[in-house]
């Protein structure tokens, strides 16, 4: 696609870029979106049967089987050109804040640093009782237990009905109010509170660039809409810069 000159200038002149990524970025690496993961053996389950605190309390072994399957898929995935382009962008701009709604760790695998994980990390285990990350639990049982308190461990992700953890939320809100360019990449812009971060940026004068395959609630408020896959659009955008 042809990148608008204004979009190129906005990136070239930016002092603080805020990047929000969603499931579209990971989908290009073969990681199914949350809804797409309800396929095959899991097609008969509603997400509320697998990704809520109540679901875990009712049948933790079932929830763990699903999350182990998702971990296997994510572990086999490799970063795509979109992930790698964001690493390049971080080297170019004075400051970049990367907030992701994805839980697969592909940004870190690509080389991005200080990634703000809005919805947690698929590969972490969290103690249900103590709400702390546990790194040395036995994984060979249906429901791993906390070596400290003996309570059940759960996947370290944010489930339906749960609040975004305070630290990533505060970091994202602060950065969105301080950036001068907001990039929305591969996200539906429909899930709150992440969907409100662009509003925060815009209200403080930031330019908004959306990169997505289809229109979203953010499209009409964006200064530039780059329609396409992030793995194609982002590298092309960076190729236009004096890197």
Does residue 170 lie in a domain region?
Answer: yes
| Pair 55, 65 in one domain | yes
Show which residues are catalytic. 119
Using pLDDT thresholds of 50, 70 and 90, give the confidence band for residue 36.
low
108/211 same-domain check = yes
Query: What digits encode the pLDDT tens for the residues 50-69?
Result: 899 999 999 999 999 999 99
List the Cα angle 26/29/32 in 5-degree steps. 60
Banded pLDDT at 187 (limits 50, 70, 90): very high
Write 220-224 long-range contacts (CB < 8 A, 24+): 222/184, 223/6, 223/7, 223/10, 224/4, 224/6, 224/7, 224/10
Pairwise CA distance, residues 90 & 114, whole Å: 11
Whether the pLDDT of residue 229 is over 90: the answer is: yes
Question: CA–CA separation, 239 vs 12, rounded Å?
Answer: 11
Q: Read off the CATH number of the domain in which 186 is found.
A: 3.40.50.1220
User: Are residue 218 and residue 188 in the same domain, yes or no?
Assistant: yes
What is the number of domains present in the chain? 2
User: Could you tell me what percent of the chain has a pLDDT over 90?
Assistant: 84
Could you tell me the two tokens for 175?
């950065």
Q: Which residues contact 56 (CB under 8 A, 6 or more apart)?
A: 63, 128, 152, 154, 159
Average pLDDT, the chain: 92
Which range marks the domain in which residue 194 is found? 5-31+77-119+164-239
Same-domain check for residues 188 and 232: yes
pLDDT, tens digit (0-9, with 9 covering 90-100), for 139-153: 767 999 999 999 999
Beta carbons within 8 Å of 175's beta carbon, 6+ residues apart: 16, 18, 97, 99, 116
Q: Does residue 170 surpass a pLDDT of 80?
A: yes
Any domain includes 138: no
Q: Are strands 95-100 and 207-212 parallel, antiparallel or unpaired?
A: unpaired
115 and 47 together in one domain: no
Q: Are residues 54 and 104 in the same domain?
A: no
In a domain, 132, yes or no: no
For residue 152, being part of any structural domain is answered with no
- Per cent of the chain over pLDDT 70 is 94
Confidence of residue 37 (pLDDT cuts 50, 70, 90): low
């Amino acid at each position: 696609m042809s990148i608008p000159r204004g979009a190129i200038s906005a990136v070239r002149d930016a002092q603080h870029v805020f990047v929000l990524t969603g499931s579209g970025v990971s989908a290009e690496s073969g990681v199914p979106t949350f809804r797409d993961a309800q396929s095959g053996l899991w097609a008969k389950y509603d997400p509320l049967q697998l990704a809520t605190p109540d679901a875990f309390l009712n049948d933790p072994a079932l929830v763990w089987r699903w999350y182990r399957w998702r971990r296997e898929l994510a572990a086999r995935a490799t970063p795509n050109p979109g992930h790698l382009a964001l690493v390049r962008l971080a080297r170019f701009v004075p400051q970049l804040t990367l907030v992701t709604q994805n839980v697969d760790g592909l940004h870190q695998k690509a080389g991005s640093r200080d990634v703000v994980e809005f919805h947690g990390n698929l590969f972490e285990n969290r103690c249900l009782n103590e709400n702390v990350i546990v790194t040395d639990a036995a994984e060979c049982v249906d429901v791993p237990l906390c070596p400290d308190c003996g309570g059940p461990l759960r996947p370290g992700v944010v489930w339906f009905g749960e609040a975004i953890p305070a630290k990533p939320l505060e970091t994202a809100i602060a950065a969105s109010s301080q950036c001068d360019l907001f990039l929305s990449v591969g996200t539906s812009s429909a899930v709150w509170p992440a969907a409100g971060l662009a509003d925060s940026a815009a209200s403080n004068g930031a330019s908004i660039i959306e990169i997505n395959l289809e229109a979203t609630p953010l499209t009409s408020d964006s200064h530039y809409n780059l329609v396409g896959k992030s793995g194609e659009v982002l590298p092309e955008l960076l190729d236009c810069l004096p890197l």
